[in-house]
Structure 1
Amino acid sequence: MSPFESQTLPLFPLSSVLLPGAALGLRIFERRYLDLIRDCGRSGGGFGVCLILEGSEAGQPAIPAAYGTEAIIEDFDNGPDGLLNLQVRGARRFHVQQTRVRDNGLVVGQVQWLADDDQARLQPQHALLGTVLENILEQMAGAGASLGPTHLQSAAWVGWRLAQVLPLTPQQRLAVLQEDDPHARLQMLLQSIA
């Protein structure tokens, strides 16, 4: 499927933002989301994660932000409490064109896929951000955490990983997610830590 093509995608509104390449753990207990996971298993597809603008994660359908990230299921198991635990990873970004709510309360969006990031290298004015991220990754590795292979010369990779690990508000992460230009994302992040 090419960028800018429109597709129907089930949405999982959350109080956090999933970024491309980031891992996220989810506990599934509501029928609408169990149905969503079953459908994803049958189709081999993912679902969309969007920040909640109004409402909450459980109960009545929440109003999602207009931008989100496709979640691909990497692993799942049943927890000791009997709930389904998922491990997902962020993939493609999308823009929600319109939404509807199914009878079971699941929000479904008509989404337009956004273009993949270009392979631009870090510019000199953002070199400090690469160093900051490298230091954070070294500390995380010492604590047993890992973000996988590093690509510290890639403007897009550095931007997504910094937005993942810096103490940003969900609204700041959403602003980063909405930005198409990797260098503009890095500038936003630089301003947030300045």
Structure 2
Amino acid sequence: MPIETLPLFPLHTVLLPGASLGLRVFEARYLDLVRECGRSGRTFGICLILEGAEASGPALPAAVGTEAVIEDFDTGGDGLLTLSLRGARRFRARRMRVRDNGLQVAEIEWIDEPPAGSVRPEHAALVTVLRHMLERRGGDHARAAGSCFNDAAWVGWRLAELLPLPDEQRQALLQIDDPHERLELLLSLVG
């Protein structure tokens, strides 16, 4: 099996599967990354920064991150490149190296998602919370099919995205593989 690599864009935020993220790009290493992704059709990874800054030298990223798919791009009024991203698959970084331009590239393995499971009765209150949040907020997920609200993984990712949580808690939720375990943690956080 060939080793798969993914360029990384460490940030002081967590991108979750299915979530959207707006990003302004100004550093040369990340402009190169976006050009490379545009030419090759590849994606890149977003990881939470554990130590360091977003700009300047390489930061220490979390080992579990989310693949970022570029949905749209534009140039802002300040001339900077702006990206609209969507979170896709989760991955675990095994080894990292830094290119000459400062861009981090990781050898990764994709994290297999468990088969879709229904929301359990003990987590039904979370579905109610999510429905109310989406009614007030609107956006992409407010128009989701009713069946999504019975999908434990989808409900968990949307709550992790929308609740006002510190990035460390979002990262902990990202690292949980079992959607029911994720909902249990979310229940303890909102309870």
On whether the aligned pair clears a TM of 0.5, the verdict is yes
Contact 1:6-1:113 at 8 Å conserved across structures: no
Aligned partner (choices 157, 165, 169) of residue 168 of structure 1: 165
Determine if contact 1:140/1:146 at 8 Å carries over to the other structure.
Answer: no
**Within 2, Cα distance between the matches of 1:97 and 1:129?**
34
Cα offset, 1:6, TM superposition: 4.5
Residues 110-129 of structure 1: pairs in structure 2 closer than 5 A: 110-129=107-126
Residue in structure 2 matched with residue 84 of structure 1 by the alignment? 81
Report whether the alignment pairs 1:57 with 2:54: yes
Please give the TM-score of this superposition, normalised by the length of structure 1: 0.94
The alpha-carbon deviation at position 117 of structure 1 amounts to 3.7
Alignment of 1:142-157 (within 5 A): 145-147=139-141, 148-150=143-145, 151-157=148-154
* Whole-angstrom CA distance in 1 between matches of 2:136 and 2:127: 14
Please say if 1:13 is aligned against 2:7: no
CA shift at 1:149, angstroms? 1.6
1:46 to 43, 48, 63: 43
| Count of matched residue pairs | 188
What amino acid does structure 2 have at the position aligned with 1:30? E
Q: Secondary structure at the residue paired with 1:152?
A: helix
Distance in 2, matches of 1:57 and 1:171, equals: 16
For residues 127 and 77 of structure 1, the distance between their equivalents in structure 2, rounded to whole angstroms, comes to 40
Aligned alpha-carbon RMSD (Å): 1.3
Counterpart for residue 69 of structure 1: 66
Q: Work out whether 1:193 is the aligned partner of 2:190.
A: yes
C-alpha distance after superposition, 1:123-179 (max 9, x if no partner): 0000110111001111112xxx33252410000000000000001110100000000
When normalised by structure 2's length, the TM-score is 0.95
Post-superposition, which runs of at least 4 consecutive aligned residues in structure 1 deviate over 4 A?
A: none
Letter in 2 for 1:112: E
Alignment map for 1:89-104 (pairs within 5 Å): 89-104=86-101
CA distance in 2, matches of 1:188, 1:47: 28
SS across alignment from 1:12 = strand
Q: Please state if 1:179 is matched with 2:176.
A: yes
CA drift of 1:43 comes to 1.1
Amino acid at match of 1:86: L
In structure 1, stretches of 5+ residues that fail to align are: none
Partners of 1:115 and 1:5 in 2: CA distance: 17
The answer to whether residue 30 in structure 2 is matched with residue 36 in structure 1 is no
2:129 paired with 1:132: yes
Q: Contact conserved, 1:137 with 1:146, CA < 8 A, in 2?
A: no
Change (3 A) 1:117 1:87: farther
Deviation string for 1:25-72 (max 9, x for gaps)?
Answer: 000000000000011011101100000001010011111000000000
